[in-house]
Structure 1
Amino acid sequence: MTDATSAQRARALIARLDLTNLAEDCTEADVAALCVRAETAAGPVAAICIWPDFVGFARRELSARIKVATVVNFPLGGSDVEATLIETRRAIADGADEIDLVIAYDRLADDPGFVEAQVRTIRAICGHARLKAILETGKLYDEATIRSACRAALAGGADFLKTSTGKVEVNATPGSAKILLEEIAKAGGTVGFKPAGGIKTFEDADGYMRLAETICGLDYPAPERFRLGASGVLADLLAIAQGAERPGGGASY
């Protein structure tokens, strides 16, 4: 790619970034700093993704053009649907625009119907908010189980398929991304896709967008259908967008 093309794609990737802080020790001050970072010199990110406790604060701090995403049933993906309903209702009442739900991935092998029902139940109370189903692909191990997770989440009405929590050893990979995108394409190509965790460089991020373009079509990865779950990648994207010297790596989530 020419420098101009790289800069253009870096700006496009920034506009598709869910700038994330899900650190265990995250504070309100950290979220305030994240809100400032979200309004970049190359344009705003798509969303910030934060713990539920900070949703109301973040919604007050951010302009309306940046979405507030939060996580529920996170990070372990348990089976307590009632507790997840309570979390989700509170987050939406506080102003969340997007809900990232960890499915009960441990139930997939024996009871994929539970996951479908879990997603459907949470989706039913989301209203205007988008529901991203986190499949935790690094814990599913084989292609057949990942495809089963995709189909259960899609059947339940998920608006996005998301690879990972960023809290396990193996997070987003090109292999798992390919499976999710193939299942999205089979289902009509309207559901969104979000790789998360392990995205450190422009090349990582652009590789996922190119994969989405290849499998689902060049017009597929618009911001309403394609997101990147990351935080440390922003500095690299900004450097390329602005033609500046690139930093040496960064945190992946």
Structure 2
Amino acid sequence: TRAIVDAGADEVDLVLPWRGLQAGDAAGARAVVDAVRAACPGRTLKLILESGDLATPALLAQASRLGLDAGVDFLKTSTGKTATGATPEAARVMLQAIAAHPRGAAVGFKASGGIRKVADAAVYIQLVREILGADAANPQRLRFGASGLLGDIEAVLAGTGPGNTSAAGTY
């Protein structure tokens, strides 16, 4: 972390040690997040929860609270490299944790993994507006990690694509 900060990074992504958390080692997971937070003061810290790999909504809520308590700036669903990326169900759990937290008004949400259509992104925009408020649908509070989305946005803007949903899945 210090090396990327020294190289000038403004933002740091950290994958939560979710396997440890799932095995009951919340303290170990928290220690990792605390260490990275301490190593990148003044930088945006995004905590990737791998929401599709966490076994239950309760565990996802616990992971979200752990990150919020540790001072992260964004909760992010996924690296996009796992079988299950972002889902509306997981997003709802994470957004509810943000909304309920004392620091919630200063924390953002990033949906990543499986978002390929404008309609997919619209689902997450609506969830953010519903749970965090209309004002939260801005780049400081809502982001997408969606390399496949650009083509659909361009097609919709050009009038050559419908922007239909490709969203799959439940939690």
Aligned: 1:237 with 2:150: no
Residue aligning to 2:63: 149
- Pick from 216, 221, 224 the counterpart of residue 137 of structure 2: 221
AA of the residue aligned to 2:131: I
Provide Cα deviations, 1:207-233, integer angstroms capped at 9, x if missing partner.
Answer: 101110000000012101111011110
The offset of 1:247, in angstroms, is 8.1
Residue aligning to 1:246: 161
The TM-score, its normalising length taken from structure 1, stands at: 0.61
Residue aligning to 2:4: 91
Alpha-carbon distance in 2 for matches of 1:99, 1:133: 9
Structure 2 unmatched runs, 5+: none
Residue aligning to 1:201: 117
**Could you list the runs of 4 or more consecutive aligned residues of structure 1 that deviate by over 3 angstroms after TM superposition?**
none
**Residues 184 and 190, structure 1, Cα contact 8 Å, conserved in 2:** no
Query: What secondary structure sits across from 1:189 in the alignment?
Result: helix
Alpha-carbon distance in 2 for matches of 1:107, 1:148: 13
- Pick from 177, 184, 190 the counterpart of residue 106 of structure 2: 190
**Residues 52 and 84, structure 2, Cα contact 8 Å, conserved in 1:** yes
Residue aligning to 1:119: 33
AA of the residue aligned to 1:190: A
Query: What secondary structure sits across from 1:154 in the alignment?
Result: helix
Aligned: 1:128 with 2:42: yes
Equivalent pairs, count = 162
Provide Cα deviations, 1:27-69, integer angstroms capped at 9, x if missing partner.
Answer: xxxxxxxxxxxxxxxxxxxxxxxxxxxxxxxxxxxxxxxxxxx
AA of the residue aligned to 1:137: S
The offset of 1:248, in angstroms, is 8.8
AA of the residue aligned to 2:142: F
Provide Cα deviations, 1:59-98, integer angstroms capped at 9, x if missing partner.
Answer: xxxxxxxxxxxxxxxxxxxxxxxxxxxxx11112222211
Query: What secondary structure sits across from 1:246 in the alignment?
Result: coil
**Residues 164 and 196, structure 1, Cα contact 8 Å, conserved in 2:** yes
Structure 1 unmatched runs, 5+: 1-87
For the aligned residues, what is the CA RMSD?
1.8
Identical positions, percent? 44
**Residues 163 and 195, structure 1, Cα contact 8 Å, conserved in 2:** yes
Query: What secondary structure sits across from 1:131 in the alignment?
Result: strand
Alpha-carbon distance in 2 for matches of 1:174, 1:116: 25
Structural mapping, 1:166-177, within 5 Å: 166-177=80-91
AA of the residue aligned to 2:153: L
**Residues 113 and 152, structure 1, Cα contact 8 Å, conserved in 2:** no
Provide Cα deviations, 1:3-44, integer angstroms capped at 9, x if missing partner.
Answer: xxxxxxxxxxxxxxxxxxxxxxxxxxxxxxxxxxxxxxxxxx
Aligned: 1:181 with 2:104: no
The TM-score, its normalising length taken from structure 2, stands at: 0.88
